[in-house]
Amino acid sequence: MSEAVERGPQAGADHELAADCSRCFGICCVAPAFAASADFAIDKPAGQPCPNLGADSRCGIHQDLRRRGFPGCTVFDCFGAGQHLAQGTFGGRDWRDDPATARRMFDAFAVMRPLHELLWYLTEALALTPAGQLRDDLAAALAETGRLTDGTPDELLAVDVDAHRDRVNRLLSQAGEQARAGRPGVDRRGAVLIGADLRRAGLSGANLRGACLIGADLRGVDLGAADLTGADLRGADLRGADLRRCLFLHQSQLDSARGDHQTVLPPRLRRPTHWSLTVTPVRRSGGPSPSGRSSTGRSAGHRRR
């Protein structure tokens, strides 16, 4: 579950596109499987409740997830699929109270969540795209995706998610290309850039759809008009980077990365609370220390958490 609960923008069919855990039943803490790794401290099979999930459907260690070894939970966002499934599709029936529905609910979540993610991207694309055929096609795709999410459990389970995603992604790619038309950049779609030093890569206007940027060094990089659809930013260093005009950046991507108070964000996104703070140099009576160090002996600038 994500670090903060908020209401997302409204899609054409009035779908909420960010998690509201107060109206869900902890579905994301039960339905998916996860393996012990840097993201999760334990193994958990699909369909089995996480041991940290309380009877009130809330995480018992929510405020301490990172320190307890569950950073993967802090960056997960169901895009509003959880409450839609719980309150809409299954009419408020908790899987605990109605075990017969549990399996169907968890299977349906695997369909609902990617559909809600597509709703979010389509809503973003519509905001970027001027009137014309592409905008009409995006609006039609948004309406169709919303219709699919409003289906019965059986109708949801019959959806070919991969085929629908492929059709929508073609439109989203066109929208990204159109939005970047005035600032064409390098094409690094799907590139594996794990741990790469990209500080001089010239990524303004770049196509980074689906790029693997785990641990990449993006300090001070201008990502203006860069398409970050699905880019994996886990552990990426965004300190001092300029993200204010990048395309299709989601809050969960920021939450998985590292940054500081000099990272420039789009107005709609919030600075993650775990990002490092700026260290203010201590000025001595004669002015700043010639060595550039504070009285603590640490270099002035940014402190790595």
pLDDT digits (tens, 9 = 90+) for 105-133: 999 999 999 999 999 999 999 999 999 99
Residue 217 corresponds to which tokens in the numbers above? 């060094």
- Predicted pLDDT at 100: 84
Tell me if 284 is assigned to some domain: no
Q: Nearest 5°: CA angle at 53, between 49 and 47?
A: 15
Q: For residues 32 and 167, state if they share a domain.
A: yes
Say how far apart CA 75 and CA 254 lie, in whole Å: 8
Same domain, 156 and 217: no
pTM of the model: 0.84
Q: Per the domain annotation, does 14 fall within a domain? A: no
Q: Between 99-128 and 161-179, two packed helices, what is the crossing angle to 10 degrees? A: 20
171 and 196 inside one domain? no
- How does DSSP assign 52-66, residue by residue? TB-TTSSBTTGGGTT
Model confidence at 220: pLDDT above 90:
yes
Half-sphere exposure of 99 (CA within 13 A, CB side): 2
Asked which of 124, 144, 179 is the last residue of a domain, the reply is: 179
Same domain membership, residue 216 and residue 88: no
**What's the burial of 142, exposed, middle or buried (CB within 10 Å: 0-12/13-18/19+)?**
buried
**Average pLDDT for 202-210:** 96
Residues 204 and 169 in one domain: no
Q: What is the mean pLDDT of residues 39-45?
A: 95
**CA-CA-CA-CA torsion sign (15, 16, 22, 27):** positive
Q: State which residues form the domain around 116.
A: 21-179
Question: How many domains does the chain contain in total?
Answer: 2
CATH code of residue 243: 2.160.20.80
Residue 303, pLDDT above cutoff 60: no
Residue-wise pLDDT tens digits, 276-297: 765 444 444 444 433 333 333 3
